[in-house]
Amino acid sequence: MQTGKTLIVWDTFWGEVVERNWVLKLMIGMCPTLAVSTSVANCISMGAAATFALVCSSVLISALRKHIPDGVRIVLFIAIIASFVIMVEYFVHAYSLTLYEALGTFLALIVVNCILLGHAEAYAYKNSILATAVNAFGAGVGFTFALLCIGIPREILGNGTLAGFNIVWENFQPWLIFSSPTGGFLMLMFCVMIINYLAERKNKKMTSEKGPALRSSQAKQGGCHE
């Protein structure tokens, strides 16, 4: 019984991180993903900040779900999310000024990150507190994972370092394009291409006789429509 429960929790968590990754699969919450992913330190702090706000706000919304009236729920969600984001913002400001300046307005813009509102609306409003906490944590880790997918290559190629340590050979010329906004788009494009390739291969395996019927399912994703 105990192992079964653990397995379900792990499945929910892992599913959120990999299979339903909000950024890489659903293309939601890309604005901060691209803007702050110039270095690994920024990625991890942004991911941690968003995860904290996501877990706290989701748990609170889930706890209050029976008392929130349907008509004004979005406004209340935003108010709850904004309160936690203010906490995170002031914590980062007090903890490290360099980090606060590097993340800039994007720390405050977690409020309008579609992942938080989307998670509140789609999951937290309907499920129990424990399930929501696990799911929200998974979504947060998935967000951090997506940030790192883009951030690690960008820092190595654009700056020649990894998490602040010099790891390249001596006469390495940094590719400045990777630390500029262009590099963000380029790296995300490579990630999407790899995901498309894997999905394509899976489809081919599954429907070897049916042909490319499932192929178009990949192209339809994109955009958040709250």
Partner 1 sequence: MSDFFSIFLISMLAKNPLVFLFLGLCSFIGVTKKVSEAFSMSMAVIFVTFMAQQVTFFLHIPLVSIGVEFLRLLVFIMVIAALVQTVEIVMKKFLPVLHRAFGVYLPLITTNCLVLYVALEQVFRDYSYLQATAFGLGTGSGYLIMMVIMAGLRERFELSNIPPIMKGTAMILLIACLFSLIMQGTSGIGG
207 near partner 1, judged by CB under 8 A:
no
Nearest-approach distance from CB 18 to partner 1, in angstroms = 18
84 with 56: CB under 8 angstroms? yes
d(CA 157, CA 178): 6
68 near partner 1, judged by CB under 8 A:
no
What DSSP state is assigned to residue 174? P
Residue among 112, 152, 168, 214 that touches partner 1 (CB under 8 A): 112
191 with 149: CB under 8 angstroms? yes
Nearer to partner 1, 33 or 45 (CB): 33
d(CA 212, CA 81): 42
Nearer to partner 1, 133 or 155 (CB): 155
Pick from 98, 92, 11, 14: which is nearest to 53 by CA? Answer: 92
Of the ranges 5-13, 30-38, 51-59, 164-172, which one interacts with partner 1 (CB under 8 A)? 30-38
For residue 46 the two structure tokens come to 């942004």
61 near partner 1, judged by CB under 8 A:
no
174 with 61: CB under 8 angstroms? no
In the numeric block, the tokens 């653990």 are attached to 6
Residue among 27, 44, 48, 152 that touches partner 1 (CB under 8 A): 27
97 near partner 1, judged by CB under 8 A:
no
Distances, alpha carbon 68 to alpha carbons 27, 73, 117, 124, in Å: 29, 6, 15, 12
Number of residues that bind partner 1 (CB under 8 A): 51
Nearest-approach distance from CB 149 to partner 1, in angstroms = 14
Of the ranges 3-11, 22-30, 40-48, 52-60, which one interacts with partner 1 (CB under 8 A)? 22-30
215 near partner 1, judged by CB under 8 A:
yes
Report the half-sphere exposure of 221 (CA within 13 A, side-chain side).
Answer: 15
Nearer to partner 1, 33 or 132 (CB): 33
Distances, alpha carbon 46 to alpha carbons 86, 181, 214, in Å: 14, 17, 35
Residue among 185, 202, 207, 211 that touches partner 1 (CB under 8 A): 185
76 near partner 1, judged by CB under 8 A:
no
| Positions in the binding site for partner 1 (CB under 8 A) | 27-28, 30-35, 74-75, 78-79, 82-83, 85-86, 89-90, 105, 108-109, 111-114, 117, 177, 180-182, 184-186, 188-189, 192-193, 196-197, 200, 212, 215, 218-226
